[in-house]
A and B are shown apart, each in its own frame.
Chain A
Amino acid sequence: MAERRSFLLGAAAVVLLPFDSARATPEALADLIREVTGGKELRVGRVKLDVPPLIENGNTVPLTVSVESPMTDADYVKTIHVLNEKNPQPHVFSASLTPRNGRAQVGTRIKLADTQKVVAIAETSRGEFWTASAEVIVTIAACIEDVN
């Protein structure tokens, strides 16, 4: 009986392993954040991350990032990055802006493989990094389910 149980546990581990290895982790997210900021200070604020707190279908999650910025030649948002914690890859998108955009706001639709944290980072022309994050609960995941 004990042997059978350990076999079942082992089989379960083998089945679960491929999914786990294909996931980004909080560490991968932290690594990517370091890569994006180049190790500079990341401050919370100025960025507004609009994403529903509860999602039924992770295949299409509406998301809007807006950043408080005068968007003048002297001070504008250069890049907006969106990253995540538990999709197969931590990167979602990077958008390049100029003063010509007038308003630092980008909207799109993303996929979320699991209930997780989504992070937005804005880099300004002055070399500052601002961030905001949101927890999203996903009831039907995207990305890793079988196609039937």
Chain B
Amino acid sequence: MANALINAPKTARRGDTIEIKALILHPMETGFRPGTNGTIIPRNIIEKFSARWNGEEIFAMSFSPAIAANPFVSFFTVARESGRVDFLWTGDQDFRVTESVIITVT
């Protein structure tokens, strides 16, 4: 699915602290809002976001409904070795999206 967007440097020097930004398309429906027919719209949110660098978890975050629609997350990490960073979002209604980027460390 192409509805996730990652902003990370393509290259980094070893030991540098780099910023990674991740954005995903999702309504983050809170489960507290009445719809047009007066009934509550069922909750549909992303609950977990995580990032792995060559398999090692470098960041994880759990969301409540108070995270805005189309969740955006920015965090930092130290570039140790070249490799792939895998991002995973999971949530209600079996929501599961993965995205990855390659970062070359020199």
Contact = CB atoms under 8 A, between A and B. Distances in A.
A144 B75 contact: no
Contacts of A107: 21, 72-75
Interface string B50-64: 000100111111111
A91 to B, nearest CB: 4
Nearest to B34: A146
Contacts of A146: 33-34, 36
Contacts of B58: 98, 100-101
B30 A93 contact: no
A144 B41 CA distance: 11
A142 to B, nearest CB: 8
B95 interface: no
A102 B53 CA distance: 14
B91 interface: no
A102 B65 CA distance: 28
B59 A95 contact: yes
Interface of A: 22, 59-61, 64, 84, 87-89, 91-98, 100-103, 105-112, 142-148
Given A110-B67, A111-B65, 4 more contacts: A60-B69, A88-B65, A95-B59, A100-B78
